[in-house]
Structure 1
Amino acid sequence: MSEALKLTGVSKGYNHGLPTEVKVLRGVDLSVSPGEIVALVAPSGAGKSTLLHIAGLLDTPDEGRVEIAGEDMTGVADRRRTAVRREKVGFVYQFHHLLPEFTALENIVLPQLANGTPRREAEERAHTLMGSVGVAPRADHRPAALSGGEQQRVAFCRAMANEPALLLADEPTGNLDPETSDRVFGALMTLVRETGLAALIATHNLELASRMDRQVALDQGVLSLRPAG
């Protein structure tokens, strides 16, 4: 079985008008297997968002290779990158970014319709996902009528809507109080375990990181295995 995500020798730098380039990533190697949840632990400014953007095909590395579900994305045309990103990668951010004019259910249905899924099938999957994280009774509510934890759980469902091979999450509970964060993270873990996809989750929360299968640390552009505990 192919790795859901494989990064090989990935490097990335930015100039930002400075006389010398700032290296954000330095030869990063990382694999995430189907069914595995990996914590990415990094201080602010260490490059975790850049790594996630490259892994999710939102950015390209200066050097190295990115493979999604066994497909090498090096030099691939933009149209194919967009298709792979839509079909095989789900994103969750610190803020939910739900569309305010649509209901919770519609926010989960819309990505499926864009991917060619029939409406009835899309609605059935949306109801199933919402039920698995305990927000099914809120299906007809717009985001403004949901609590922060409910909004984020709907965002998780939206990220899972097209049955991706890989879930990428950038501080998905960072905007929540500790009690809600713990509950919402549990819902995310349940979703990932039930679907068997691969997940790479960036977090500052070491307690949450300890609940994942493996931890990696990013510091000064270098990725390393983080010891348990």
Structure 2
Amino acid sequence: MNDPVLALSGVTKTYNKGLPGAVEVLRGAELSIAPGEVVALVAPSGAGKSTLLHIAGLLDTPDEGAVRICGRDMTGMSDRKRTAARREDIGFIYQFHHLLPEFTALENVVLPQLANGVNRGEAVTRAADLLARVGVGGRADHRPAALSGGEQQRVAFCRALANEPALLLADEPTGNLDPGTADHVFETLMELVRATGMAALIATHNMELAARMDRVLRMDNGVLTEG
């Protein structure tokens, strides 16, 4: 049996620990996501879903508990190794695309590959293929300011997938789009995830979108529950 792509066990996180007004954000979070599985994370604003995603994506560390990526225990790993794991194994998509405004759509998808040691020719070929698959191949030479919101977010998806990550983490990836565009962008995202077999954890307030994923996790008062 394959190892889970992402596994959290007993993860806790408290901000301002030991001080007045300490906030217990995660209380023994348990989570396992298999290859090819798409899991929705539903939680009210301020419930800690972004903290969970940051810990899962190795951008933050838990106070207690373990984080395993592709079977490797990341607990206590050096910053250098955590950075390498983020670059090689994890793709991030946020509500706001955070594309580099001075570069074209194609260049925004090429740059992460160059940082990962891919030669430029291969990086350009892969970037062009990804952009074509999400329907913005004809906009490859446009900078973000010349793209619609939906086009920008599709470019952001391509950037997140550029290095073929095992794990995709998305924080409200369609929350800044109108319903029609959000639905189209979500379908594009699901097609890409299914085609690659990666695991995905997608935080969303949209219950209709959540219901179209394989499982729904809810976070309430720092505790994860299924259903």
Query: TM class by shorter-chain length?
Result: over 0.9
Say whether residues 1:191 and 2:171 are aligned partners. Answer: no
Structure 2, unmatched stretches of 5+, are none
Which whole-Å CA distance do the structure 2 matches of 1:17 and 1:44 have between them?
24
SS at 1:64's partner residue?
strand
TM-score (norm 1): 0.97
Q: Map 1:35-54; keep pairs closer than 5 Å.
A: 35-54=36-55
1:132-171 paired onto structure 2 within 5 Å: 132-171=133-172
Indicate the SS of the match to 2:96: coil
| SS across alignment from 2:84 | helix
SS in 1 for 2:47: coil
Equivalent residue number for residue 126 of structure 1: 127
Deviations 1:27-71 (A, max 9, x none): 000011110000000000000000000000000000000000111
Q: CA RMSD of the aligned region, Å?
A: 1.0
Give the secondary-structure state (helix, strand or coil) at the position aligned to 2:113.
helix
Q: Residue deviations 1:154-190, cap 9 Å, x none?
A: 0000000000010000000000000000011111001
- Amino acid aligned to 2:134: V
Q: For residue 20 of structure 1, report the CA deviation from its aligned partner.
A: 4.2
Question: Once the 2 structures are TM-superposed, how far is the Cα of residue 214 of structure 1 from its aligned partner?
Answer: 0.5
Q: Identity over aligned residues, as a percent?
A: 73
| CA deviation string 1:132-174 (max 9, x = no partner) | 1111111000000000000000000000000001000000000
User: What is the count of residue pairs matched by the alignment?
Assistant: 226
TM-score by length of 2: 0.98
SS at match of 2:13: strand
Identify the residue that residue 83 of structure 2 maps to in structure 1.
82
Deviation at 1:127, TM superposition (A): 1.1
Partner Cα separation in structure 2 for residue 2 and residue 123 of structure 1: 32
> Alignment partner of 1:116: what SS?
coil
Change (3 A) 1:96 1:17: farther
Q: How far has the Cα of 1:15 moved from its partner?
A: 1.4
Distance 2:212 2:135 in 1: 21
